[in-house]
Amino acid sequence: MPEPKITMQEVEQVARLARLALSDAEKESMRRELDGILSYIDKLRALDTEGVPPTSHAVPMTNVMREDEPVPSLPQADMLANAPDRSGEFFRVPKIIEE
Amino acid sequence: MLTDLTIHELAGLFRRKAATPTQAAREYLDRIAALDPKVKAYLTVTGEAALARAAEADARFQAGAPLSPLDGVPLGLKDVLCTRGVRTTCGSKILESFVPPYDATVVARLQRAGAVVLGKLNMDEFAMGSSTENSGFFTTRNPWDLSRVPGGSSGGSAAAVAADLAAATLGTDTGGSIRQPAAFCGNVGLKPTYGRVSRYGLVAFASSLDQIGPFTKDVEDAALMLQAIAGHDPKDSTSATVPVPDYAAGLGRGVEGLRVGIPAEYFIDGLDPEVESAVRAAIEILRGLGAKTESVSLPHTEYGLAAYYLIGPAEASSNLARYDGVKYGLRVPGSRDLIDMYSRTRGAGFGAEVKRRVMLGTYALSAGYHDAYYGKAQRVRTLVQRDFQHAFERVDVIVAPTTPSVAFKVGEKADPLSMYLNDVFTIPVNLAGLPGVSVPAGFTRAGLPIGVQVIGKAFEEETVLRTAKAYETATEWRKRKPELAA
């Protein structure tokens, strides 16, 4: 049997990085599915890309700048309108720092 | 019925005062009420607002002063485009109640043109999918066979045009999500050159690949829609400053002397024989109209899919990091701390395919894997682009199948990888940033639409559209409509 492309430990580590809570059943199907996808993607390894520059952007464009002039942004009320939990002009969240 | 008509036919009636925008809007809204329970294209119908806008358009036509060729025309918008004050879900539970405080640039442009927005259309969640089965709400059905998918991710946009539930719609295309559903639903579906249309207000999936484009009933309508939305936008730093030509002007020029490339790698074993024969027949028709065809090679085609399924998810993992329950969208209550809130919110709010791609992208970008996966994929992207550059030294357009098969049954492609293979002919075009259109090329014996794809050089939508127009004029596919009884 070929080496698994991704281990359960890696699935858990990546889920932590991606801030995704996965059930045990989800982790197992995730491991299987990612394994299949990564095996397919492995065909890229056969391709010689020595000396080929990476393309991050289809159309050649470099840093697009604008004049440093303030322009109206969105009103604060609009920005807070979708807040799940709001306290005055703040978005309220659970505590960040562990006791 | 006004709902049978194209944009340009409707506009003609409006100008001659043979019909009004309010009549058109009413007919479309009635048809949506009668048929959408079966087709399930719409997530949100904005009936009142549509009638208000239509009334304003009525007055303009009364005064003989329409704003544009789209004035008073009823349109639908894929629910990935921000519409101020109108719920925008991206097909996701994580944004089920999200109401954007601003309009996407394309939406603002359509409003300024006088278009009437009927509502927001269903899609695969965050534009990730090829069947609309990944919508967090329900699966849109193919109007040609309600047991089949309309394609994806812009399934609602395609189905709405096919079922005459909008005169035209906007969708988005990152790996084929306009062209593939257009092929499955028998529409014209255009993906412009990357940068041709502003992405401001398009909820981002993969920022180097996403483009907005129209679904229409014919090629002339696609030119009219593109005209309204194309052009540089200072709010989108990836939008091109290339001037916008008059897309309708040269449509009838024909294809005499046009050099058409037929890519060998797109005619592979897995291609449905009925699709192949329809596409080859289309090529014959173009030859008959004076085009010169030759074989071209795009040798890295088979690697495009693999590269896309690294680049797309990598960019998505970054773009979807913002869905964290802090400022908008779903927040799962009762979390012990901030990280717990993020994880539980995203775990509850994202569907399976989105989670898969976020995981894949995070993995491909993580330390130790970044070069082997993401870096490698970017180099392959260069090779795919170069394939097209070489081919376009010898030909003006490339004509190929849009999809390897026709619309499949709901539930048929349960394995993620088998779903991804739907986009094998569309993905390379996104990687290279080129314009591509799918146009109706016939039907299978079972009555399912087949699409043919025309791919052009960057910013040469005119050439792509006139090729499509010449083919369309020589055929009658557009006269056939799905049978949909209320």
Candidates A10, A19, A63, A73, partner chain B, best to mutate (most B CBs within 10 A): A19
CB neighbours of residue B79 within 10 Å? 30
Among candidate residues B92, B131, B135, B153, the one labeled active-site is B153
Q: What is the pLDDT of residue B217?
A: 98
Q: What is the pLDDT of residue B418?
A: 85
Q: What is the pLDDT of residue A61?
A: 81
Q: What is the pLDDT of residue A99?
A: 60
Instruction: Give me the domains of chain B, ranges plus CATH numbers.
Output: 2-260+393-479 (3.90.1300.10), 304-380 (no CATH)
Q: What is the pLDDT of residue A98?
A: 67
Instruction: List CB contacts (< 8 A) between A58 and chain B.
Output: 194-195, 208-209, 385, 430-434
Q: What is the pLDDT of residue B367?
A: 83
Q: Is B177 an active-site residue?
A: yes
Q: What single-letter amino acid sits at B296?
A: V
- Unique residue bearing structure tokens 């939406």: B107
Contact yes or no for B247/B459 (Cβ under 8 A): no
For B49-60, what is each residue's pLDDT tens digit? Answer: 999 999 999 999
Q: Which of residues 49-68 of A touch B (CB under 8 A)?
A: 49, 52-59, 61, 64, 66
Instruction: List CB contacts (< 8 A) between B356 and chain A.
Output: 30, 33-34, 37
What parts of chain B have a pLDDT lower than 70? 486
CB neighbours of residue B232 within 10 Å? 15
- Picking from A21, A44, A91, the nearest residue to B303 by CB comes out as A44
Instruction: List CB contacts (< 8 A) between B331 and chain A.
Output: 84-85
Q: What is the pLDDT of residue B428?
A: 98
- Unique residue bearing structure tokens 């939990």: A85
- ipTM given for this complex: 0.94
Q: What is the pLDDT of residue B486?
A: 63
Work out the pLDDT band at A5, boundaries 50, 70, 90: confident
Q: What single-letter amino acid sits at B304?
A: G
A15 — contact with chain B (CB < 8 Å)?
yes
Pick the closest to residue B275 from B405, B429, B466, B388 (CA basis). Answer: B405
DSSP per residue, B259-280: EEEEEGGGS-TTS-HHHHHHHH
CB-CB under 8 Å, B331 with A84: yes
Q: What is the pLDDT of residue A58?
A: 84
Work out the pLDDT band at A62, boundaries 50, 70, 90: confident
Q: Which of residues 25-54 of A touch B (CB under 8 A)?
A: 26, 30, 33-34, 36-38, 40-41, 43-45, 47, 49, 52-54
Query: What is the gyration radius of the CA atoms in chain A, in angstroms?
Result: 23
Q: What is the pLDDT of residue B389?
A: 97
Q: Is B355 an active-site residue?
A: no
- Unique residue bearing structure tokens 């996104």: B430
- Using alpha carbons only, what angle is made at residue B236 by residues B231 and B237, rounded to the nearest 5 degrees? 105
- Unique residue bearing structure tokens 């709901």: B410
Q: What is the pLDDT of residue B357?
A: 97
Q: Is B78 an active-site residue?
A: yes
